[in-house]
A and B are shown apart, each in its own frame.
Chain A
Amino acid sequence: MYEFRMPSLGADMEAGTLVEWLIKPGDEVQRGQVVAVVETQKGAVDVEIWETGTVDKLVVATGRKVPVGELLALLRTVGEPAATAPETPIAPETPQAATAPAIVAAAPPRAQAAAVSARQRVAPAARKLAEELGVDIASVQAAEPGAVISRADVERAAQAKTLTPVAAKPAAPDWHAQMRMAIAAAMSRSKREIPHYYLATNIDVTAVSSWLETENLKRSVTERLLPVVPFMKAVALALREVPELNGFWIDGALRSSASVHLGMAIAMRGGGLVAPAIHDADRKSLDQLMADLRDLITRVRSGRLRSSEMSDPTVTFTSLGEQGVEGVFGVIYPPQVAIVGLGKITERPWVEGGAVVVRKVATATLAADHRASDGHRGGLFLAALDRLLQQPERLR
């Protein structure tokens, strides 16, 4: 019997609320399948299962807040007989989840909302607006069944609400405050536990910039690569050369990872950020990386992330050049051991062959865990990054 437990979706997660089961007893599930939706401080996450088999029993009912590591469901692996007769699905408990507060206390017509609330997909912007407008997000209906709830849906609900006043209810969970708390916990732990060291180097990125310009000229607008994409590939390849920067510090020891799962720091509209993984970034083509990045950002901003994207990053990459900063010294996301930063690309005077020339230059930085690596090795990583960026045509 395989025990499916509440996964840890990041160092800052202690518990999650089971919002929805996407499986029932008797269902066949495949390794990697999304089987449940869990609400965390960083929003709703699609949780995958990492075993193939048949669902034997759902142990936890929807609506319950469950600590990391607690048993959620039992799975019969291939060839294993049923231990118990398939049970009838467990009845959801009275919603006490963050997504469905205090609906029970509301007027009878809203009981309907309680039933659908567990299936809600809410855009972060919509959740924020709902808080601002004092709309109970659980009572908001999407424009189409199953669609993600948008700001427009919330606005509609807010208008309806002014027509039918509801009884006073406890304060809605503040999504933004929760996100801040999650970031605060992870970053405090990082600064408390991780002895960071910091390195920076200026890299001539003229070659990679012109290569990208030529490449994008050949492409239709929908196929264009964002400037960050070749850098993602170069960072991932350089990490292979210095494995002490790619992995985790667990129980007093470094566990390097053979795969490079690049956590991309992505800002959320209205504040907060997440750094979900692009898996095997070192082995993907630039087109594939662009497609993955597009998919990831879109889901960060409007939809939902998968559990493996939250828990798998072996390193973080932050590209703050967008906002015009020239360099960024990151805070490591524990238990990772490094964070790579890239500032904006600017034209700067550059000495080459005894003459001052104008070059496109970017400052690349590394913040790394001194328990796991030393400055010398960190320097080799930045040197490798520089070298790889000088031959952009080989990054494909």
Chain B
Amino acid sequence: MTLYNREQIRDIIFDALGAIAPEVEPALIAPDRPLREQIDIDSFDFLNFIIRLHETLGIDIPEKDYAELLTLNSAVEYLARRCAAQQ
């Protein structure tokens, strides 16, 4: 499995967000504010976001960990940790 660095993970998150909410401007996302306050996504969009991350990164994201994906920064940290753990 590929080991992604934080920069790559950030881009993967932007790609996944862009696919569900095309109007999103990555540069305008405040990294420490909850994503769902900044982007108009519902639970269906969020599930698709998780599915995309799962497919791209090849990691499982259990439902109980959804809270870790609240902000951009916490999502990057969480996904980096999960990817490293899966090595």
Contact = CB atoms under 8 A, between A and B. Distances in A.
Contacts, number: 38
Contact of B23 (A224, A226, A270): A270
Interface in A264-307: 267, 269-270, 293-294, 297
Nearest to B20: A301
Nearest to B36: A322
A216 interface: yes
Given A226-B47, A267-B42, A269-B40, A221 B21 contact: no
Interface stretch (B25-33, B60-68, B74-82): B60-68
A232 interface: no
A360 to B, nearest CB: 15
B75 to A, nearest CB: 15
A216 B47 contact: no
Q: Counting chain A CB atoms within 10 Å of each CB, which of B47, B54, B62 scores highest?
A: B47
Interface string A240-273: 0000000000000000000000000001011000
A228 B54 contact: no
User: Contact size class for B?
Assistant: 10 to 19
Interface in A46-99: none
Contacts of A160: none
Interface in B33-87: 40, 42-44, 47, 50-51, 54, 60-64
Interface string B3-38: 000000000000000000111000000000000000
A213 B60 CA distance: 16
B43 A125 contact: no
Contacts of B61: 221
A325 to B, nearest CB: 13
Interface of B: 21-23, 40, 42-44, 47, 50-51, 54, 60-64
